[in-house]
Amino acid sequence: MRIVFATAEVSPIAKTGGLGDVCGSLPKELARLGHDVTVFMPFYRQAKLYFASERIEPELLLPSSRISWADWVADVAFYSTTLPGSDVPVILVASDFFFDRERIYSGVGGVDDSLLRFTVFCRAVIAGCERLGIAPDILHCHDWHTALLPLYLHSGLRGSREFRATRSVYTIHNLNYQGIAPAAAFASTGLHSRYWAPDALEHFGQLNAMKGGILFADQVTTVSPNYASEIMTPEHGTGLDGVLRAVSGRFSGILNGIDIEEWNPATDPLLPSNFDSRKLGGKTATKQALVREAGLAQNAGAALLGVVSRMVDQKGFQLLLPILGGLLEAGAQAVILGSGDVVYEQGFQRVAARYPENCKVWIGFDNALAHRIYGGCDMLLMPSIYEPCGLNQMYSLRYGTLPVVRLTGGLADTVIPFDGTNEGTATGFGFVAPSQEQLYGATRTGMLNFQNPSIWKRLQGNAMKEDFSWTRSARRYEEAYRRAANG
């Protein structure tokens, strides 16, 4: 199949989260399976900085030219590069006004023009395909930023030679970000008034881009089976649960994967010592080096807890911050890497100042340090309030670092909690209610089992055998593509 990805983020070129990780990895795996894949993304300032740091110069494909739709026009240019480590082409849509900004999702002059920015991007994807002779069988659209593309296909785009046979697949990475805009913004889409209706883009008097993408795509997916079930309920559906139930016959959850070449403790160049499930001595050495780096007291009997995360409510830090001191007093040590809300940044720093021999906090993000935390810690804490898929728990499992997770979304799909009877299959520790008490209990359970080397090694072995490669996930996407094509 000829597949076009339309996405706001691609790792490592420009990303803020899991969307970029998926769109930087899945196209490569689909290409390995024999598909012809092209990725479209905006040419952000962040992308320019990435290419400059890597000494890569994208090729100019089409100089600045005008695209038009309805009564709207925009000037864009198209550049070409490839996904790092592959031959998969990436088409960069350049427009300094819309995409050369301080942050990927920042407005201009205090005005949020997000819908217009990504409408321009959607129209540029269409124009790029037409002008470059790319005729996709599947147009794979990701999150609200590209949700208008299924509507454009439905509204007459299939009259174009390049899109005559195109079918759409729409993937929800995070339902909480829906592309909501005032009703007046509908004009910028250029769509017929028929699409300003409750069975299209209108949602309680506002424009909801994601709603339109869900309703008009040939297939809809999200990033884990459990999250797919959760968001069809009023509790987790953020106003779109009824829409998702209406399309349930063409809606499925496909678990994300990870790059098992980058995330391989046996070969990871960012670890001080490599290891695998049969020879864990390198993990012990990595833990010792991490403890030294953090300036903590060397205590082999203390379970080392790790956190690598954005410090926001979604990630459950309102549960962790109040109990962290208690965990340290109970005999744990902790290393924390992340940034986000000031209340959490400062709160964790105060805990670290109170327990300097047992807790270290780094504010910001450092990829190499993240690898060392996954490699050196005994447990990784992920008390998320909601988690569409989650990748960190997959990294930690691969490195024999047992996750402590709230059993929600993709965390419930990927971690088998130890209950004292399932030593042969368990891979971590879990809790259900979003409460400080349950998080504390699950973590203490892990700490107590850490004191039993035979059980701990068994659980580590189970964790490290789990297969979260993209191959399995890519096969599931192939099935979704075939359903869309045959629908």
CB atoms within 10 A of CB 404: 26
Q: Choose the weakest-confidence range: 106-110, 362-366, 367-371.
A: 106-110
Q: Is the pLDDT of residue 107 over 90?
A: no
Q: Is the pLDDT of residue 430 over 90?
A: yes
Question: Which pLDDT score, from 0 to 100, does residue 30 have?
Answer: 97
Q: Is the pLDDT of residue 111 over 90?
A: no
> Alpha-carbon distance 456 to 117, whole Å?
50
Question: Which pLDDT score, from 0 to 100, does residue 418 have?
Answer: 98
> Alpha-carbon distance 395 to 255, whole Å?
14
In the block, tokens 């930690």 appear at: 396
Treating both helix axes as pointing N-terminal to C-terminal, what angle do 470-486 and 18-32 enclose, rounded to 10 degrees? 80
Give the pairing of strands 304-311 and 379-382: parallel
Question: Which pLDDT score, from 0 to 100, does residue 16 have?
Answer: 87
pTM: 0.92
Question: Which pLDDT score, from 0 to 100, does residue 18 have?
Answer: 85
Question: Which pLDDT score, from 0 to 100, does residue 368 have?
Answer: 94
Q: Is the pLDDT of residue 5 over 80?
A: yes
Task: Please state the rounded mean pLDDT for residues 15-21.
Answer: 89
Question: Which pLDDT score, from 0 to 100, does residue 125 have?
Answer: 98
> Alpha-carbon distance 169 to 180, whole Å?
21
Contact assessment for residue 81 and residue 92, using Cβ atoms and an 8 Å cutoff:
yes
- Least Cα distance to 21 among 348, 394, 397, 451 occurs for 394
Question: Which pLDDT score, from 0 to 100, does residue 406 have?
Answer: 98
Q: Is the pLDDT of residue 458 over 80?
A: yes
Task: Please state the rounded mean pLDDT for residues 32-61.
Answer: 97
DSSP assignment string, 272-294: SS---SS--HHHHHHHHHHHHHH
- Least Cα distance to 80 among 127, 128, 118, 33 occurs for 128
Task: Please state the rounded mean pLDDT for residues 62-77.
Answer: 92
Q: Is the pLDDT of residue 487 over 90?
A: no
Region class of 289: left (phi > 0), else alpha (psi between -120 and 50), else beta = alpha
Question: Which pLDDT score, from 0 to 100, does residue 224 have?
Answer: 97
| Residue pLDDT, tens place only, 168-179 | 999 999 999 999
Q: Is the pLDDT of residue 445 over 90?
A: yes
Q: Which two tokens stand for residue 287?
A: 């833990």
pLDDT band at 106 (very low <50, low <70, confident <90, very high): confident
Q: Kindly tell me the sign of the dihedral angle through the C-alpha atoms of 453, 456, 460, 462.
A: positive
| Residue pLDDT, tens place only, 177-202 | 999 999 999 999 999 999 999 999 99
Question: Which pLDDT score, from 0 to 100, does residue 364 have?
Answer: 92
| Mean pLDDT over each residue of the chain, to the nearest integer | 96
Question: Which pLDDT score, from 0 to 100, does residue 17 have?
Answer: 82
User: Which residues 6+ apart lie within 8 Å of 468 measured at CB?
Assistant: 255, 257, 258, 260, 394, 397, 398, 414
Strands (DSSP E) found in 54-183: 59-69, 72-82, 89-94, 138-142, 167-172, 180-181
> Alpha-carbon distance 149 to 125, whole Å?
9
Task: Please state the rounded mean pLDDT for residues 152-178.
Answer: 96
> Alpha-carbon distance 293 to 275, whole Å?
19
Question: Which pLDDT score, from 0 to 100, does residue 196 have?
Answer: 98
Question: Which pLDDT score, from 0 to 100, does residue 110 have?
Answer: 77
Q: What residue spans define the domains of the chain?
A: 2-257+471-486, 281-467
Strands (DSSP E) found in 83-187: 89-94, 138-142, 167-172, 180-181
In the block, tokens 């925009």 appear at: 74
Which CATH fold topology does 2-257+471-486 show? Answer: Rossmann fold (3.40.50)
* CATH number of the domain located at residue range(s) 281-467 in this protein: 3.40.50.2000
- Domains 2-257+471-486 and 281-467 are alike in CATH topology: yes
Q: Is the pLDDT of residue 317 over 90?
A: yes
